[in-house]
Amino acid sequence: MKKTLFLVSPRGFCAGVARAVKAVEDALEIFGAPVYVKHEIVHNKHVVSALQKKGAVTVDELAKIPDGSVVVFSAHGSTPLQYEEVKRRGMRLIDATCPLVTKVHLEVHRFLKEGYTIVYIGHKGHIEGIGVLAEAAGIAIPVIETVADVASLEIGNPEKLVYLTQTTLSVDDTKEVVTALRGKYPHIIAPPIEDICYATTNRQEAVRHLAEKCDTVLVFGSTNSSNSRRLAETARAQGVSAYLVDDMSSFDMGLLSGSMNIGITAGASAPEEIVSEAVDFFREQGFSVSELVVKEERMVFSEPLDMMRIKKERQL
């Protein structure tokens, strides 16, 4: 029987991840090692390891970085206090926060200034949400993760109410939460442009189409990657087996026993070389490869302003 590997697009690096990774690479080229990165630059162990080999040092706390060092803020966003600390300690900052995450930070300021009560839909304790919520400067913003959280939400009945969201959520799950919020608070409004980012939405749409053709889906990405986990969940919701895999070396092939149509996608922080290695592996196992292009992506972000200034100073 014919064995087919379906390779879906879009997959892998989004514009924000590509921008952040390049910012670290450029900083290493300009300043040399070490360049410090606050939090993993993106949530993928292969990307982080590759940059570490070049001289990037990932830290969880700014206190671990010497004064005056070069530091890159990760794509997930940072808190106002962290920006203040970098300035106070004379560090050279390159802010690689994804522009679509920055958009949500700015929305917090805008809606609070306009007198709105904000609720935030996101995963409790996620690094992106920590940065967003910190913009409220002591004002408590409730975090909603599930429909059950909406049922237990106690904020009275504010005249002006808005919801914001993490950029890497499940589109379907978020719709359910928003529906519950609107049922409880009919006057709640949405942000002017949806906060769930284009890459998250596109990859989830693509994996739905992929699941229609496959009995098993492999999602390449690390377990701490929110958008990668959501892809696996989206595939399972379509009724197929789905596994989140860092690379083929860590995967139990016994899980694919009997699978004749296998699909591959990759989270927005997963490098394409991991996918290429998997494709080569399956070709050796006798699978033919079929490309499934669901949507074209052409989004590109300009490099961080800090990097632009550095290059201008050095006339690079």
Is residue 161 within 8 Å of residue 119, measured between CB atoms?
yes
Distance, CA of 304 to CA of 308 (rounded, Å): 6
Neighbours of 57 (CB within 10 A): 15
For position 48, what pLDDT does the model report? 97
Residues 6+ apart with CB under 8 A from 200: 167, 168, 169, 171, 227, 230, 268
- 314 Ramachandran zone, left/alpha/beta (phi>0; psi -120 to 50): alpha
The pLDDT, as a whole number, for residue 250 is 83
Q: pLDDT grade, residue 98 (50/70/90)?
A: very high
Q: Three-state SS for 36?
A: strand
**What was the pLDDT predicted at 258?**
84
| Residues involved in catalysis | 128
Confidence at 130, pLDDT banded by 50, 70, 90: very high
At 138, the pLDDT band (50, 70, 90 cuts) reads confident
Condensed to tens digits (0 to 9), the pLDDT of residues 14-27 reads: 999 999 999 999 99
Q: Distances in Å between the alpha carbon of 179 and those of 93, 142, 160, 301?
A: 40, 17, 18, 32
231: three-class secondary structure by DSSP: helix
Residue 220 has pLDDT above 90, yes or no: yes
Confidence (pLDDT) at 316: 57
Contacts with 22 (C-beta within 8 Å, 6 or more apart), sequence order = 303
Q: Parallel, antiparallel, or unpaired for β 70-73 and 92-95?
A: parallel
Q: How many CA atoms lie within 13 A of 149 on its CB side?
A: 16
Tokens for 102, please give them: 């920055």
Q: Quick check: 269 pLDDT over 70?
A: yes
Q: What is the mean pLDDT of the chain?
A: 96
Q: pLDDT, tens digit, for every residue of 232-246?
A: 999 999 999 999 999
pLDDT at 77 exceeding the cut of 60: yes
d(C-alpha 228, C-alpha 297), whole Å: 18
CA 110 – CA 33 distance, rounded (Å): 39
Could you give the domains of the chain? 4-13+198-293 (3.40.1010.20), 16-98+301-314 (3.40.50.11270), 100-184 (3.40.1010.20)
Report CA torsion sign: 137, 62, 222, 291: positive
1 pLDDT higher than 80: no
How far, rounded to the nearest angstrom, does the alpha carbon of residue 169 sit from its chain's CA centroid? Answer: 9
Let me know: does 18 contact 10? Beta carbons within 8 Å: no
Contact 90, 62 (CB under 8 A): no
Q: What's the average model confidence in pLDDT over 119-135?
A: 97
